[in-house]
Structure 1
Amino acid sequence: MTLSPHSSFRFFSRNSRRHGASKVVQKSTGFTLVELLVVIAIIGVLIALLLPAVQQAREAARRMHCSNNMKQLGLALHNYVDTHKVLPASSRGYGGCVGTAVNSEIKNANGIVAILPFLEQNAVYDLFNHKEAYSVNPGSYQRATGTVVGDPATNGNAAAAQTELQALLCPSDNNEVKGRCSGGAYGPASGFSGAATNYDFIVNCGLEFGTCNGYATSASNTKRMFGADVNTKFGDVTDGLSNTFMMGETTKYHVNGGAFAWAYRAWVMTGIDPHYSATNGGINVWHQPWVHSTWQSPPFVPIRGRARSWWVAAASLHPGGCNFLMGDGSVHFIPESIDKPTLLNLTCMSDGEVVKLP
């Protein structure tokens, strides 16, 4: 068969296209190594810029949660007063003080237990034998004269004290809830570990620890809203409920002392005192002047989030300060930079010095 020149050209073109004789060069659409590294670097920079903001947002949420916890405690205390006409005592029958326990009965009860029914914790409240001791701390840890009423290890109180209550825990504090409140000094009984609390009553801790039933005879201008074996009234707060601390925040780790258990009082568990003295005290102070770093070997290194001492326990892991519950039920964030005189005025309930909240 004879092909014309035109038909030969058409045949060659069709076959060249079919068999790839004519190659078309296409540009690659993938990333080069340099471009990939640049993208990774940009993502890293964005993460570095966004991470602090995310962390701040999370802490803001945790701080609000903590504030809400304290507001619930304020409502519980006001409802308690509506029912009983007085505030609960900070403790009953504390055995760690010097002197004779009230009625010569050592019970080591924490007043927080009394407000459990007003926190919708009736089931936990009913676990306790309220007529007997909540903890027993043998030997030198019991300085008071009196008889320990019952045995917390067998009456159910030590077991109940192990209950972790979220309403008493600040989500910003990553210290363990259990472990610090154990042993002969800090535990409710041998073999038990009490659950810690981030919130406690405002007291004169030096008085609570030093002198049994000392609150009743202390000067009125030094009194806090709570005291051992004493039930104060809102009417006693002559400086005004909105100007006086009712409860404060602490960490679940005390370096000098274990922590504060919510259910009982043990060695150096007295409550929170934001102003121990003109020299020692304050908020978020991780090292106190009285406790010199060279007294320990190796020397003590302060750790943020671990209150240095039980007697200046007002602290939190919130940056810059901690929350306080006022007598009127409001919650305020008090900066750690607050001056000592103002802090003392806010701590005392009838010193005649009415100050504005910072």
Structure 2
Amino acid sequence: MTERTSLSRFSIRDLLILITVAAVVLALLLPKILRARERARKSMCAGRLSYITLAVHNFHSTHKRMPQAMGATLLGISDRRSGVVELLPYLDQQELHQSISQVLIIDGVRFAAGGSVPWDKSYLPWQVQLATLRCPSDASQEGTFASVNYVFSVGDLVTNLHSPVSKDNVRGAFAPGHAIRFREILDGLSNTIMMLETATKRGHSIAGQFVVDVPIEKMQAPQDCFQFVDPARSDRYFKKTRLSDLGRGGNWADGAGGYSLGHTILPPNSSSVAIEGTAAVDGIFSASSRHLDGCHAAMCDGAVVFFSDSIESGDLGSEPPSAITDSDGNYIRSPYGLWGILGTRASRETIEERLSH
């Protein structure tokens, strides 16, 4: 009887030791496992962005131009729709593109061929979530519409963002209302950013959100965007700040700046603002991600690069340029350092830094 009790106590003690050792081993291994999973998600994210740039190249081969960032046309209809709508057949979404191209009757409502406006919640094609457009590291699912993690780069253009007068005002690879050709990217395809990554909204997190209805007098320079950031939590906006209902990338079909455009002005994961409005208005819309310390961007030659939050961004107190050249015909260099230079398409800047792919 005494021997059985001793063995029982020894077994329990042994089990407790085993549990303790297992817990310690798990605690040591878990960070490595999580890092390995994030590396895999990050790699998949880069792959999806690369796939989108390939779609843009195939589109260009067919149409001799890139899509418009906003104002995509389908059956002669042009509105606030994102260039993603035009890209659908090149993203292996021929069926979705075809459904938009034909008359649809949804819950008794007849939608004409070409589709409805992108903010129409009842138009079901805008609710189709495309896995290709989503970063695996961003699990946010707060939106009303299907979302997107990859947006069109407009460089450092802020004034008349949604209605540049002419291509002479288009400083980035993309712009609403204008379709750029590769031969018009004078700084070189390998030196010009095509697409930027953005997180989607998650509470008051700066990554994935933007401030709306900011008075113009409060925005004299890009650095003014930081006034909405809570100094106690540098990755959050102040709680009482009015933020977008949809957030960054909140509707892949809508070409409005907050949802589908990105600037190379403030470094990645900086704050974003919409000036005197909530959607298709001037503003500064920063790149962001749920990766650590940076985000992906795709160059016009198809290369995908991860850029750090600490990338050199020049003088954020300078007013954003509004054209490629000044009144004397001199090319206007981006005042926003390497980050700004990488966003411009035809400012004749040179890049000495080697970009790591």
* 1:274-289 alignment, distance < 5 Å: 274-275=264-265, 281-285=266-270, 287=271
Distance 1:241 1:336 in 2: 23
2:349: which partner in 1? 353
Map 1:245-284 onto structure 2 (within 5 A): 245-253=193-201, 254-256=209-211, 257=244, 258=246, 259-260=248-249, 261-266=251-256, 268-275=258-265, 281-284=266-269
Describe how 1:326-341 pairs up with structure 2 within 5 A.
326-340=299-313, 341=337
Corresponding residue SS for 2:194: strand
Provide TM-score, normalisation by structure 2: 0.67
1:108 is matched with which residue?
Answer: 80
Aligned 8 A contact 1:136 1:266 in 2: no
CA distances 1:298-340 after superposition (whole Å, capped 9, x unpaired): xxxxxxxxxxx97333010111211111101111111111110
Query: How far apart are the structure 1 equivalents of 2:156 and 2:94?
Result: 29
Equivalent-residue separation in structure 1 for 2:155 and 2:338 (angstroms): 16
Answer whether contact 1:208 1:214 (CA < 8 A) is retained.
no
Gaps of 5+ in 2: 103-112, 202-208, 212-243, 275-281, 314-336
Residue type at the aligned position of 1:116: L
Pairing of 1:274-313 with structure 2 (within 5 A): 274-275=264-265, 281-285=266-270, 287=271, 311-313=284-286
Q: How does 1:25-40 map to 2 (within 5 A)?
A: 28=7, 31-40=10-19
1:155-174, Cα deviation, whole Å (9 max, x unpaired): xxx32111000000001001
Rounded Cα–Cα distance in structure 1 between residues aligned with 2:71 and 2:96: 19
1:335 to 1:41, Cα distance in 2 relative to 1, 3 A: same
Aligned residue number for residue 344 of structure 1: 340
Cα contact 2:155–2:340 (8 A) shared by 1: no
Q: Is the 8 A contact 1:161 1:263 kept in 2?
A: yes
- Secondary structure of 1:174's counterpart equals coil
Tell me which residue corresponds to 1:227.
175
Q: Does 1:173 align with 2:138?
A: yes
- The TM-score with structure 1 as length reference comes to 0.67
**Aligned residues of 1:67 and 1:323 also touching (Cα < 8 A):** yes
Which residue number in structure 1 is paired with residue 45 of structure 2? 66
Q: Does 1:322 align with 2:295?
A: yes
Cα offset, 1:70, TM superposition: 0.8
Cα-Cα RMSD? 3.2
1:164 counterpart = 2:129: yes
Hey, what's the Cα distance between the residues in 1 that align with 2:118 and 2:89?
A: 24
How many residues align? The count is 269
Match of 1:214 in 2: 165
Q: Give me the whole-angstrom Cα distance separating, in 2, the residues matched to 1:136 and 1:171.
A: 24
Q: Is the 8 A contact 1:109 1:133 kept in 2?
A: no
CA distance in structure 1 between the partners assigned to 2:136 and 2:34 by the alignment: 14
In 1, Cα distance between equivalents of 2:175 and 2:264: 15
Alpha carbons of 1:83 and 1:250: their partners in 2 closer, same or farther (altered >3 Å)? same
Q: Which residue of 2 aligns with 1:305?
A: none
Report the CA distance between 1:270 and its aligned residue. 4.8
**Gap change, CA 1:205 and 1:134, over 3 Å in 2:** farther
Q: CA deviation at 1:268?
A: 3.9
Judged with a 3 Å threshold, the aligned counterparts in structure 2 of structure 1 residues 211 and 202 are, in CA distance, closer, same or farther, namely closer
Provide, for residues 156-214 of structure 1, a one-character-per-residue CA deviation record: whole Å limited to 9, x for no partner. Answer: xx3211100000000100111xx43xxxxxxxxxxxx3211001110157637655233
* Alignment pair present for 1:198 and 2:149: yes
Question: Larger Cα Rg: Structure 1 or Structure 2?
Answer: 1
Instruction: Tell me how far apart the structure 2 counterparts of residues 319 and 198 of structure 1 sit (CA, whole Å).
Output: 16
Flag structure 1 segments of 5+ consecutive residues without an equivalent. Answer: 1-22, 95-102, 138-151, 181-192, 276-280, 292-308
Q: CA deviation at 1:35?
A: 3.5
- Which of 170, 188, 200 is the matching residue for 1:240? 188
Distance 1:244 1:53 in 2: 35
Q: Which is richer in helix?
A: 1
Cα distance in 2 for partners of 1:197, 1:264 equals 10
